[in-house]
Amino acid sequence: MRVHADPLDLLRERTSEKWTTFPPDVLPLFVAEMDYPLAPVIAQAMIDRILASDTGYVGSPLPVGEAFAGFARRRWGWDVAPATVFTTTDVSVAIVETLRQAIAPGDGVVVCSPVYPPFFELPVEAGGVVVDVPLRDAQLDLEALEAAFAAGARAFLLCNPHNPLGLVHGQATLAAVADLALKYGVTVVSDEIHAPLVHSTATFIPYLSVSDAARATGVCVTSASKAFNLAGVKCAVMVAHEGRPLELLATMSDEVLWRTSILGLHASVAAFTHGDEWLDGTIAAIEHSSDLLATLIAERLPGVIYHLPEASYLAWLEFPTEWGDDPAALALSRGVALASGADFGAPGFARLNFACAPDVLTEAITRLTPTLGA
């Protein structure tokens, strides 16, 4: 089974950021929202709650904990105790609140550019200072990470899988990160929101499943939102196994839990419990789009470099110099909205969302083709 994107006329009835930021003649391939319809089981779960007028404050996070534990076991072989799963609004809030507990004001928080733009802002919101340790050859630079930890950084905001590259970190790399974190007393906050969308060509490894050192140093923050297109219903999970990481979550203010949406909670339970078939169909559609994009770029955009991602639906594109420092600006002039690489810490790049219909993707690349040499 492959999930199919909604037609453009139906998509333009949506009121989300993706469909209201630009005029109707622009193809919006910038923000990470998919064009696929919701999984029916998730839509029905939310409809049932609305019909029951069940839209009050959220109660216990345990239903999400039980559902996520089942999902993690089925998909990744990771054993999670439901009682160690906490909820809040979204992954950005989960990151900030975890960092607030983990660091003191002014402490360094490591990020690895190019990376999801809020990673440069969330540590600051939590009172920290960003320490950028750029990827080297599209991989974590373990030597540079150790230098940053040794210099006093107290937390590492890990992107696993890494957005925007679609990089799935391997077992040995994550184990090395965990050993370094344990050695230097660093808390690892592992953002695993793209993990359910790992492609069939790769294997996702949860940070907390890697080793005793990982469990002693790490907090996982994730959500059903990216994989099931639920960003607006607001439910993220925070997971720790033991020791100080679990204490960080257990001692958060109750307000952090109460920010969770009750609709998001029930949507997440439905997704994690009954969404596997839809998710597999969505991954199949994403892989098809990624292959199509690679073919289109090879045929029509000479000089543009696209390495097939191992996860999610975001293409990280390196453009030739004639496109300038901000290829997204030139793309927008041709009616295609991309995310600017400069926001990720990489001028000369752009990110393209290919979770769309094949004809939309083809039209987007067709529009971009004449800009070469402009």
pLDDT of amino acid 10: 97
Kind and range of the H or E element at 305? strand 305-306
- Residue 71 backbone zone (phi > 0: left; psi -120 to 50: alpha; other: beta): alpha
Report the alpha-carbon distance of residue 169 to residue 190 in Å, rounded.
11
Closest Cα partner for 101 from 154, 177, 174, 180? 154
What's the Cα-to-Cα distance from 306 to each of 152, 172, 202, 316, 348, rounded to whole Å?
A: 36, 26, 18, 6, 13
Sign for the pseudo-dihedral over CA of 271, 273, 274, 279: positive
What is the third-level CATH fold of 43-274? Aspartate Aminotransferase; domain 2 (3.40.640)
DSSP code of residue 141? -
Task: Give residue 46's identity as a one-letter amino acid code.
Answer: M
Its pTM stands at: 0.96
pLDDT digit string (tens) for the chain, length 374 residues: 789 999 999 999 999 999 999 999 999 999 999 999 999 999 999 999 999 999 999 999 999 999 999 999 999 999 999 999 999 999 999 999 999 999 999 999 999 999 999 999 999 999 999 999 999 999 999 999 999 999 999 999 999 999 999 999 999 999 999 999 999 999 999 999 999 999 999 999 999 999 999 999 999 999 999 999 999 999 999 999 999 999 999 999 999 999 999 999 999 999 999 999 999 999 999 999 999 999 999 999 999 999 999 999 999 999 999 999 999 999 999 999 999 999 999 999 999 999 999 999 999 999 999 644 44
pLDDT of amino acid 370: 67
Closest Cα partner for 286 from 262, 251, 306, 314? 314
CB of 174 closer than 8 Å to CB of 182: no
Report the alpha-carbon distance of residue 263 to residue 279 in Å, rounded.
20
For tokens 């007028």, what's the residue? Answer: 53
For tokens 């965990």, what's the residue? Answer: 178
Q: Point out which residues pair with 334 in neighbouring strands.
A: none
For tokens 């607030």, what's the residue? Answer: 100
Pairing of strands 236-239, 218-223: antiparallel
- Residue 202 backbone zone (phi > 0: left; psi -120 to 50: alpha; other: beta): beta
Question: 8-38+276-371 and 43-274 share one CATH topology?
Answer: no
In the chain, what are the domain boundaries?
Answer: 8-38+276-371, 43-274
CATH of domain 8-38+276-371: 3.90.1150.10
- First-to-last alpha carbon distance for the chain, in angstroms, is 42
The three-class DSSP label of residue 336 is strand
Sign for the pseudo-dihedral over CA of 75, 81, 82, 84: negative
Report the alpha-carbon distance of residue 209 to residue 207 in Å, rounded.
5
pLDDT of amino acid 1: 75
Other C-beta atoms closer than 10 Å to the C-beta of 324 total 14
DSSP code of residue 37? P
